[in-house]
């Protein structure tokens, strides 16, 4: 029996996570109105790092993309907030 190990690049993990986040996944509690709340940028970036570690990446390989995913998340949330003003 052959075991196939699934591997993903850090870029693939980034793309999958941002796509999922855009679709309302990666929730972290509820708003004051009782609605689902998306993870904040810091927690989302930490989750990205944790997933990358799970694929065997070292911190030095992740740090540039961790900063980028945090920035992406901040911009995404700012865009969402501007829609509801």
Dig out the tokens for 4 from the structure.
């196939």
pLDDT at position 82: 84
Q: Is the pLDDT of residue 3 over 60?
A: no
Model confidence pLDDT, tens digit, residues 12-55: 999 999 999 999 999 998 877 888 889 999 999 999 999 999 99
Dig out the tokens for 45 from the structure.
């970036």
- Distance, in Å, from the CA atom of 55 to the CA atom of 29, rounded to the nearest integer, reads 27
């Amino acid at each position: 029996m052959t075991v196939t190990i699934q591997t993903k690049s850090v870029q693939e993990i980034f793309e999958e996570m941002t796509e999922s986040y855009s679709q309302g996944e990666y929730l972290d509690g509820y708003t004051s109105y009782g609605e689902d709340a998306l993870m904040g940028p810091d927690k989302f970036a930490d989750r990205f790092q944790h997933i990358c570690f799970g694929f065997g990446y070292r911190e030095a390989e992740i740090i540039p993309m961790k900063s980028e995913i945090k920035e992406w998340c901040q911009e995404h949330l700012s865009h969402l907030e501007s829609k509801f003003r």
